[in-house]
Amino acid sequence: MDKKPVIVPKGRQQPRVKIEDVARKANVSPATVSRVLNHPDIVRPELRDRVMRHINDLAYTRDSAARALKSGRMRTVGVIVPTLALGIFAEGVEALQNRLSESGYTLFIANSQYDQRREFQELQSLIERGIDGIVLVGASHGRELRSLIEQAGVPVITTYVAKAGGGIPAIGIDNESATREMTEYLLRLGHVRFGAIANVVAASNDRSRARLEGIQRALSDAGLPLKPTQIVKADYSLAQGRSALRQLLTDHPDTTAVICTTDTLAIGAMAEARKMGLAVPATLSITGFDDVELAAQMDPPLTTVSVPAAEIGRGAADYLINAIAGSPVPRSVVLPYRLVMRSSSAPPRSSVRPARRGRSRDH
Amino acid sequence: MDKKPVIVPKGRQQPRVKIEDVARKANVSPATVSRVLNHPDIVRPELRDRVMRHINDLAYTRDSAARALKSGRMRTVGVIVPTLALGIFAEGVEALQNRLSESGYTLFIANSQYDQRREFQELQSLIERGIDGIVLVGASHGRELRSLIEQAGVPVITTYVAKAGGGIPAIGIDNESATREMTEYLLRLGHVRFGAIANVVAASNDRSRARLEGIQRALSDAGLPLKPTQIVKADYSLAQGRSALRQLLTDHPDTTAVICTTDTLAIGAMAEARKMGLAVPATLSITGFDDVELAAQMDPPLTTVSVPAAEIGRGAADYLINAIAGSPVPRSVVLPYRLVMRSSSAPPRSSVRPARRGRSRDH
DNA sequence: CCTAATCCTGAAATCGATTTCAGAAATCGA
DNA sequence: TCGATTTCTGAAATCGATTTCAGGATTAGG
């Protein structure tokens, strides 16, 4: 009469195999099955084997929700990156996932699009999911985000930077010092007229900001502080590298060295230089940052800073695994970057014999 | 005496706020609180507001493990990509995550490194995690993987291909037809001596294999079937693109058009061509596949096939969201690719007036 | 004004695995 | 051989939220 056609229940079709089913088949209690799975060494070997056989026969797998409920551990870690479009982040995430997977952890991924509000929301949703650890990128995070983390009592680590505020441990490189070294290298080559292209448009991109500061500091120390027009701000696209170079050379046609805070920008700048008929490095030296795969293959190959992204990812995984287990963990890990001198940089064409570092020529 | 120093308990530090706490504060039963959160419309408005206030006051968030246990839904989706190093996958994952996030889903990520065994293991671990949906890449998957999926009764979709075996729905482009079109375009330009560079080393890379078949088919149809030495197999690195081109031109110095199954390979090939002093496209036309950001910025800009990665990611998300909800879903979705003709391809230098398709010139 | 229908709310069962507690079995020493 | 340990196993409580079931309060209808 009023019987509606049967609706397939939304849940799992096949009635899941439960620990109790295994227990019954093996003629033991559920407790024993649980022990076989979690503490195999405290179960008599023959019994353990028998139970194991039945577990395999029934293709039993534990319900992770029930497990998590009882144990309070999800065996899950979350990562929030600005974007996956940057190879350097993708590489780090991949290494992170691989290492976590080895230890039985699963990785949640989210992206913030360089937006702190979004980062906060994604983190909130991850925490509600009950993650056991969090990986962030960069040093600058809203204070409400920090209090959210604190309140959740979940271990965190932030990556790609050498240190972060708010007591958050970090693993990464010292961005500022890297560009400072790069700048000093160019100074040693004899360059005196510099330009910088930095993707500092996104408010939360503290890496590029630190890199820019490294450039500025080195040049100030050398008595050649950058004028505002010698710094072109961009986002992280290749096309912006092009237009940035054009603008820079419009304002300062005599520039001989351009330092970019990203390989993407540098590659864009090189493309534009070529189009403008400027020889690299004869007329213009260009350097990047990140050492993406393409950098070495450019013509000429790009001088840049190599960032150990995979190592950062692995290190973050190890840190969290230990922190979750309650093992002691380092406060922060500073990894070495590597300056990779290729042939997109050279002494300026009409370089006077490299003066002994023109420290106080003008002041 | 035997008292050890207190060890901080491993669980959550702060005793989590539970639904019962909220209920007590608000002077209602836990059931009501649950209803306020899950079915707000069936609770008397004033009561609902009161409960809501207390929920906010206590910063209560539901325990997702308990929720998942009771409801059988994790609100979680997993994706397994071959690697994140390829921008095209990173882009798809990013779009996937964004769309899922909008619908309250969280994304697990894993990578297979083009290894079917690893893909299977990662999937197993994801299924144990109780995911509600799965996103895979490509058409070729082991049969044990398919039976695992079936047994788990979880909706799946595979991506970047137009169709897959084993009754698995797919969303993506028709790779074979794309390269066929590309090849026909080059034929129309007047090329007759072709070479192909394909990353078909990884057993599971069916995309590139399909692309290679597209090339072969088009050339066979034109009466110009590729000899084995005209096909160079590579993996997906830029450096291999270089060496592949060198090998190809060693065996067939008179080649005028090289079709690559990946932009990365094409870019490597272009770099090598430049190094060998070959003008592109005057002496050699080169085409790629994927339309990565760099393709348009090359010198000359690369002719390639644009893959709608973001759309694929979004489409996969929508598919799963619907499938999980029990809504009707399409069998498969074929998205349009786009041939992007740029200036890395041109008629061969000494091209005779493009013959009307030299169909049966020889045999 | 009273019964019938409607609307809301609370008590309690439930999801599936883990773990404490206690008892049974096995081992050991005398 | 018997009691004292030591090992191992099972019964039952527990994790926290959801949902069914039934009853109390409210409104509508006569």
**What pLDDT band is residue B2 in, cutting at 50, 70 and 90?**
very low
CA B33 remoteness from chain centre: 41
Return the amino acid letter for B318: D
How confident is the model at residue A325, as a pLDDT?
87
Strand C contact at CB of residue B265, distance < 7 A = no
**Helix residue spans in B59-205 (DSSP H):** 64-71, 87-102, 116-128, 143-152, 175-189
Residue B265 has pLDDT above 70, yes or no: yes
Strand C contact at CB of residue A38, distance < 7 A = yes
Contact yes or no for B12 and A72 at CB 8 A: yes
**What pLDDT band is residue B226 in, cutting at 50, 70 and 90?**
very high
Positions of E strands within chain B:
76-81, 106-111, 133-137, 156-159, 170-172, 194-198, 231-233, 257-260, 285-287, 304-306, 333-334, 338-340
How far is it, in rounded angstroms, from Cα A242 to Cα A234?
10
The pLDDT of A32-36, averaged and rounded, is: 93
How confident is the model at residue B332, as a pLDDT?
93
How confident is the model at residue B14, as a pLDDT?
61
How far is it, in rounded angstroms, from Cα A266 to Cα A258?
8
Strand D contact at CB of residue B62, distance < 7 A = yes
How far is it, in rounded angstroms, from Cα B347 to Cα B189?
5
User: Beta strand pairing status for B156-159 and B76-81?
Assistant: unpaired
Strand C contact at CB of residue B39, distance < 7 A = no
DSSP H or E run through B50: helix B45-57
The pLDDT of A253-264, averaged and rounded, is: 96
Measured in residues, chain B has a length of 363
Nearest-by-Cβ selection for A90 from B90, B237, B264: B90
10 Å CB burial of residue A1 (0-12, 13-18, 19+) is exposed
10 Å CB burial of residue A179 (0-12, 13-18, 19+) is buried
Tokens of A183: 């700048």
Which site among B16, B108, B262, B327 would you substitute to test the A interface, given the most A Cβ atoms closer than 10 Å to its Cβ? B108
Q: Which of A73, A47, A84 is nearest to B84 (CA)?
A: A84
Contact yes or no for A297 and B128 at CB 8 A: no
**What pLDDT band is residue A355 in, cutting at 50, 70 and 90?**
very low
Query: Measured between CB atoms, does A42 come within 8 Å of chain B?
Result: no
Q: What is the mean pLDDT of chain A?
A: 89
At B257, is the secondary structure helix, strand, or coil? strand
Q: Which of B98, B127, B204, B108 is nearest to B160 (CA)?
A: B204
Nearest-by-Cβ selection for A64 from B97, B110, B130: B130
Q: How far is the CA of B104 from the C1' of C15 (A)?
A: 22
**Contact at 8 Å (CB) between B140 and B204?**
yes
Residue B351 has pLDDT above 70, yes or no: no
Which site among B128, B135, B274 would you substitute to test the A interface, given the most A Cβ atoms closer than 10 Å to its Cβ? B128
**Contact at 8 Å (CB) between B237 and B197?**
no
Nearest-by-Cβ selection for A94 from B76, B111, B298: B111
pTM to 2 decimals?
A: 0.88
How far is it, in rounded angstroms, from Cα B160 to Cα A311?
30
Residues A55-110: tens digit of each pLDDT = 999 888 899 999 999 988 889 999 999 999 989 999 999 999 999 999 989 999 99
R_g of chain B, CA atoms, integer Å: 27
Q: How far is the CA of A18 from the C1' of C20 (A)?
A: 22
Residue A43, CA: closest nucleotide via C1'? D8
The pLDDT of B86-94, averaged and rounded, is: 95
**What pLDDT band is residue B325 in, cutting at 50, 70 and 90?**
confident
Residue with tokens 């009950």: A130
Query: Measured between CB atoms, does A63 come within 8 Å of chain B?
Result: yes
**Stretch among A112-116, A294-298, B268-272 having the lowest mean pLDDT:** A294-298
Q: Which of B328, B311, B317 is nearest to B132 (CA)?
A: B317
At B76, is the secondary structure helix, strand, or coil? strand
**What pLDDT band is residue B218 in, cutting at 50, 70 and 90?**
very high
Query: Measured between CB atoms, does B91 come within 8 Å of chain A?
Result: yes
How confident is the model at residue A9, as a pLDDT?
32
- Angle between the B87-102 and B309-325 helix axes, to the nearest 10 degrees? 40
How far is it, in rounded angstroms, from Cα A183 to Cα A214?
8
Which of B190 and B10 is assigned the larger pLDDT? B190
Stretch 243-302 of chain B: residues touching chain A, C-beta under 8 Å: 264, 267-268, 271, 274-275, 293-294, 297-299
Residues A227-249: tens digit of each pLDDT = 999 999 998 788 999 999 999 99
Q: How far is B319 from chain A (nearest CA, A)?
A: 16
Residue B32 has pLDDT above 70, yes or no: yes
Three-state secondary structure readout of A226-268: CCHHHEEECCCCHHHHHHHHHHHHHHCCCCCEEEECCHHHHHH
Return the amino acid letter for B347: P
Residue B83 has pLDDT above 50, yes or no: yes
Residues B98-145: tens digit of each pLDDT = 999 999 899 999 999 999 999 999 998 999 888 999 999 999 898 889
Nucleotides of chain D touched by protein CB (<7 A): 7-12, 14-20
Tokens of B188: 């129309």
| Highest mean pLDDT of the ranges A285-294, B54-63, B324-333 | A285-294
